[in-house]
Amino acid sequence: MTESLLAGLNPEQRAAVTLPHESALILAGAGSGKTRVLTTRIAYLIQTHQASPHNILAVTFTNKAAKEMLTRLAAMLPINVSGMWIGTFHGLCNRLLRTHYRDANLPQLFQILDSQDQQAAIKRLLKSLNIDDEKYPPKSVQNFINSNKEAGHRAGDLSAHDPFTRRLIELFAAYDEQCQREGVVDFAELLLRCYELLSRNEALREHYRNRFTHILVDEFQDTNRLQYRWLHLLAGPQAAVFAVGDDDQSIYAFRGANVGNMREFERDFNARQIIRLEQNYRSHGHILNAANALIKQNSERLGKNLWTSEGEGEPIRVFEAASDNEEADFIVDEVKNLQREEGVNLSDIALLYRSNAQSRVLEHKLFNAGVPYRVYGGLRFFERQEIKHALAYLRLIANQNDDGAFLRVVNFPPRGIGARTIENLQDASQAAGVSLWQAASGGAVSGRGGASLQAFVHLIAQAREATQGLPLAELVEHVLAVSTLIEHYEASKGESERVENLNELVNAAAAFEQEVRQEEEIEGLAGFLSHASLEAGEHQAGSGQDALQLMTVHAAKGLEFYAVFVSGLEEGLFPHDQSFNDADGIQEERRLMYVAITRARRRLYLTHAQSRMLHGQVRYGLASRFLEELPQNVLKAVGSRSRPMASSWNTGGWNDGWRSNSRSYDEPAPFRPKDDTPVSGGFHIGQNVSHAKFGIGVVIGSEGYGDDVRLQIKFAVGTKWLSLKYAKLDPA
């Protein structure tokens, strides 16, 4: 049986699967079969009796990946794998905290805030403290809190050197107090609370160290510092950590991912083995040669070279357009040709872009051409407005002290509870130090608004009593009925889809009940609410219609397609202009381009435009440096507007470069100011400026002429486009 398990593996894959009991780094290139290696390694350990399912912990980055791993294992092993500890960092931490909630100082039925819920909680906090949400935008406060938690910091660990940061730290502390009071945790808190629990509780830590003798980690390059520390804490001296990743595909630095974790792994985990999986089973040779040549421009790589036995395949097609409209026309025509002449399904064609802002023209052209398309990464099921409302009612059934859920539905559907009544209730709640529910129950607000609050409290209390002991699906159905959500949307014009989604929530609850029969998993309403929060963003609803896939390059990670179009390959777009001011920014952008290239199996198109409409202005751009870093022998110019020529990138710009072989050179030359190039009003790229609202920033770009000049300025609160005519900027 062991030999049948290993059959079909290439030598490097087999070496990884059959490693002895020691920590190792598996450097798995794109399309090299890493999921097969991971699952086969687990099956091999169990099949050869080196470990029981009880001794294995496997960490993935998506619930989809975890479910796929369990499905594969179930087919490979004659055992029930449903109770194994295989899941995401957040999912595994949730499971551990549920088991040890008292030690973690949490209520047994604590609820999880997704990103939207967390932002709503921060808005409530700012309002209760009379904080100006323009000076302290909720999203910025949220990012400050999450980035510090993901670095392992509490508010008390931080120090401030200016009043602005001092207030952020105070808000961080107040937010944590609010969450503790309400019995809720955000995603970053799940991991931090779990890490703190294991850090201070030696008996608990040793229990899990003794239990999990084999720890396997997928997508190791995407781990942040806290996740890395959590793994290091959980892995005892006798544990073998099997880390699978690709430093060349580390593209989530903006989320806190630290590619340096892969380099530190060898030292911290005493890993003597690095196995490189370089045989690619996805793409043809020209595509891989382009990817290899591009990524070699990056420094501090662990190093690998993808290859395939499938032959060189088609050359990579490059198209230079005069404008973004012409670029979109070309893409639409090629998509239709692929579908009509080569029989390629639209769903097996992807159109990638660096920024969502690029999609408007593309969508418009596709719509006019009658080409069905789907924007991948749109609003997911559990993130839809009507579902969020229904979940808020369910959260109140589970925990009446959940102020965020209370505020979301206290007047939805409308029941005559106005903003003034809510403000009075919040004031009374804050003064008494109790939840909104407790304040409303105690009659803290009088008058008609107070009576409406009492009716709402009574509604929830009755629903809570009526649903005791009901199966989960019936519970959800009952709450949907008494909340009148379905009735409200049925009475609203054009809301039939929302009604269908609410009915689907009942099906989701029924499916959850069937699938949750797992060891050590929490069942019932609390489990379903945790499931909804953890799954938000994982599953995308689709009509089943064959449709072209549109998405950002970030969203394409982990996917593959027969044909891929990478559009907008211009300096300032891809690589993005925000990367110009960061020492590692261009390397991250190059890794992103590497990911884009390696999504293609058979056909790859790279397109760019000489001019593009952005922010209401025509922007002239230079072709991306990444085009220049690709080997010329794998490229083929298509259409009448572009052909490759010998050229090189230097600090002064392009020498020769990609030039049209047909356009008139009377057209205006592309313009992009270099550092210290004046733009208008005495300002130049790279200059520090001061703004009354946003503070000190640096000029990183410009567009327009005369009175229409706008400057792109990077401030501490984010990057802004400001009109020079109205912004009142001063040199700093």
Judge residue 674's burial from the number of C-beta atoms within 10 Å of its C-beta, 0-12 exposed, 13-18 middle, 19 or more buried: exposed
- Take residue 319 and report the two structure tokens written for it: 């198209």
430: nearest Cα among 607, 177, 600, 235: 177
What is the spatial distance between Cα 222 and Cα 244, in angstroms, rounded to a whole number? 11
- CA torsion angle for 54, 60, 64, 67 (degrees, to 10)? -10
- For the chain, the 3-state helix, strand and coil shares in percent, each to the nearest 5, are 50, 15, 35
- Take residue 707 and report the two structure tokens written for it: 């009175």
Question: Which of the residues 117, 176, 189, 218 is marked catalytic?
Answer: 218
pLDDT recorded at residue 679: 59
Q: Is the dihedral of CA 661, 666, 667, 670 positive or negative?
A: positive
Give residues with Cβ within 8 angstroms of 469, minimum separation 6. Answer: none
Question: Which of the residues 13, 34, 628, 672 is marked catalytic?
Answer: 34
Per the annotation, the verdict on 35 as an active-site residue is yes
pLDDT recorded at residue 671: 32
Q: What HEC string does 21-61 produce? A: CCCEEEEECCCCCHHHHHHHHHHHHHHCCCCCHHHEEEEEC
State the DSSP H helix or E strand holding residue 551, giving kind and residue range, or none if neither: strand 548-552
The radius of gyration computed from the CA coordinates of the chain, to the nearest angstrom, equals 28
363: nearest Cα among 376, 354, 374: 374
CA 352 vs. chain centroid, Å, equals 16
What is the spatial distance between Cα 333 and Cα 569, in angstroms, rounded to a whole number? 19
Residue 500 CB neighbours (<10 A): 11
Per the annotation, the verdict on 363 as an active-site residue is no
Question: Which of the residues 13, 39, 213, 249 is marked catalytic?
Answer: 249
Residue 543 in 3-state DSSP? coil
Asked if 257 contacts 250 with a C-beta cutoff of 8 angstroms, the reply is: yes
Give residues with Cβ within 8 angstroms of 124, minimum separation 6. Answer: 178, 403, 404, 407, 426
Per the annotation, the verdict on 334 as an active-site residue is no
How far CA 513 is from CA of 87, 332, 344, 359, 522, in Å, comes to: 18, 44, 39, 39, 11
pLDDT recorded at residue 648: 33
What is the spatial distance between Cα 577 and Cα 91, in angstroms, rounded to a whole number? 36
- Take residue 647 and report the two structure tokens written for it: 């050229």
159-183 as b/e: b if 16+ CB within 10 A: eeeeeeeebbbebbebbbebbeebb
Q: What is the mean pLDDT of each run of 10 residues along the chain (732 residues)?
A: 86 96 94 94 94 94 89 90 91 95 94 92 94 86 93 93 93 96 95 96 96 95 93 92 93 84 89 92 96 94 93 96 92 96 95 84 85 76 85 93 93 88 91 91 87 92 92 91 90 73 82 61 78 60 73 92 97 87 86 96 96 65 93 88 36 34 30 46 79 81 70 76 79 82
Question: Which of the residues 98, 123, 590, 599 is marked catalytic?
Answer: 599
220: nearest Cα among 436, 61, 77: 61
pLDDT recorded at residue 203: 95
Strands (E), 257-324: 273-277, 316-321
Q: Is the dihedral of CA 9, 15, 18, 23 positive or negative?
A: negative
- Take residue 473 and report the two structure tokens written for it: 């699906």
What is the spatial distance between Cα 684 and Cα 686, in angstroms, rounded to a whole number? 6
DSSP code at position 572: B
Asked if 330 contacts 607 with a C-beta cutoff of 8 angstroms, the reply is: yes
Could you tell me if residue 270 is left (phi over 0), alpha (psi between -120 and 50 degrees) or otherwise beta? left
Asked if 489 contacts 502 with a C-beta cutoff of 8 angstroms, the reply is: yes
What is the spatial distance between Cα 86 and Cα 691, in angstroms, rounded to a whole number? 50
Residue 659, amino acid: R
Strand partners, 653: 650
306: nearest Cα among 589, 556, 600, 563: 600
Per the annotation, the verdict on 34 as an active-site residue is yes
Strand partners, 407: none
465-496 as b/e: b if 16+ CB within 10 A: eebeeeebbebbbbbbeebebbebbeeeeeee
φ, ψ of residue 603 to 5 degrees: the values are: -135, 130
What is the spatial distance between Cα 311 and Cα 530, in angstroms, rounded to a whole number? 47
